[in-house]
Amino acid sequence: MNAVLKPPPTEAAQGLSISVRQVVRGFGALQVLLGLDLAIAPGEFVAIVGRSGCGKSTLLRLLGGLDVPDTGSIDIGGVPLTGLSPEVRLMYQEARLLPWQRVDDNVALGLPGDRAHRRAAALAALGEVGLADRAAEWPRVLSGGQKQRVALARALAHRPRVLLLDEPLGALDALTRIAMQRLIETLWREHGFTAVLVTHDVSEALALADRVVLIDHGRVALDLPVDLPRPRVRGDAHIARLEAEV
Ligand code: ADP
Ligand code: MG
């Protein structure tokens, strides 16, 4: 685990631990998770890999409180998970922005506080993903990578303590994906949230995560630490220049 290398979060919330115990989840005759155990430390970055249909999204939906296990239990921050929590945010392959809301309103959606406070939080989050100048745009004029940045800002604006990422970069071109990997790593370091990334890209898993967990036949089949020094996503000046274009 590389958590010791991270600077302590300042005003940001600390990440929460996640404990999954003997979780079973099936859909009719289809048994997907068959007694899955997984423990994630506060602030850790864990990647989940496995073949298509093995239950990665099912697990993330359970962690996000969008679904409940048939049997078994999930604790977040040592507390049994009972449903949606503002501290736990999900991000998907599609940005899922509301097309009839401008970028800033998409990010401000569901934030606590009065209108001015929500707007300030939205603009701050957009600044963190490098899109402060696109706040007044409609989502449809943004590129795929920019839409995912907005989705990331929407999650960040809630100051999440757990960020669940379900193949968030899967639909992006290679260059945009590298830029987004760098952004996610930077934000994880700065904010200190616990990150769970589902990806089918093993190099992405190795680049970002402290640990790579393989799910197979409904259980954790492999759980390997990534013993590579950070930063693994290189801050190459050329990539930074290209990043500004995407
Ligand atoms: P992965 O994300 O690893 O590709 P999923 O977790 O999305 O896999 O799905 C695992 C299996 O469960 C798949 O066969 C999928 O079709 C099935 N499944 C997932 N959600 C449901 C649901 N709500 N109803 C019925 N089947 C589902
Ligand atoms: Mg999936």
| Reported ipTM | 0.98
More confident residue, 180 or 1: 180
CA of 210 to the centre of ligand 1 (A): 26
Query: What pLDDT shows up at residue 185?
Result: 95
More confident residue, 32 or 1: 32
pLDDT band for position 233 (50/70/90)? low
CA 38 to chain centre: 17
Query: What pLDDT shows up at residue 86?
Result: 87
Query: What pLDDT shows up at residue 8?
Result: 46
The residue whose CB lies within 8 Å of the most ligand 1 atoms, and thus the one to mutate among 30, 66, 197, 213, is 30
Q: Is the CB of 56 under 6 A from ligand 1?
A: yes
Q: Is the CB of 69 under 6 A from ligand 1?
A: no
**Per-residue pLDDT at 198 exceeds 70:** yes
**Per-residue pLDDT at 1 exceeds 60:** no
**Per-residue pLDDT at 207 exceeds 50:** yes
| Nearest CA owner, ligand 1 atom 26 | 27
Q: Is the CB of 53 under 6 A from ligand 1?
A: yes
**Per-residue pLDDT at 227 exceeds 70:** yes
Query: What pLDDT shows up at residue 236?
Result: 57
98 sits in the region (left: phi over 0; alpha: psi -120 to 50; else beta) called beta
Q: What is the pLDDT of residues 2-61, one digit of tens each?
A: 444 444 444 556 899 999 999 999 999 999 999 999 999 999 999 999 999 999 999 999
CA of 51 to the centre of ligand 1 (A): 12
CA of 186 to the centre of ligand 1 (A): 31
**Per-residue pLDDT at 196 exceeds 90:** yes
Candidates 164, 167, 162, 133; CA nearest to 150 is 133
Q: What is the pLDDT of residues 126-180, one digit of tens each?
A: 999 999 999 999 999 999 999 999 999 999 999 999 999 999 999 999 999 999 9
Q: What is the pLDDT of residues 58-111, one digit of tens each?
A: 999 999 999 999 999 999 999 999 999 889 999 999 999 999 999 999 999 999
Candidates 109, 108, 64, 122; CA nearest to 90 is 64
CA of 175 to the centre of ligand 2 (A): 22
Q: Buried b / exposed e across 6-37, counting CB within 10 Å, b at 16+?
A: eeeeeebeebbbbbbeebebeeeeeebbeebe
Q: Is the CB of 55 under 6 A from ligand 1?
A: yes
Angle at 105 between CA 103 and CA 110, to 5 degrees: 130
- Average of per-residue pLDDT across 195-222: 95
Q: Is the CB of 52 under 6 A from ligand 1?
A: yes
Structure tokens at 128: 């963190």
3-state secondary structure of 54: coil
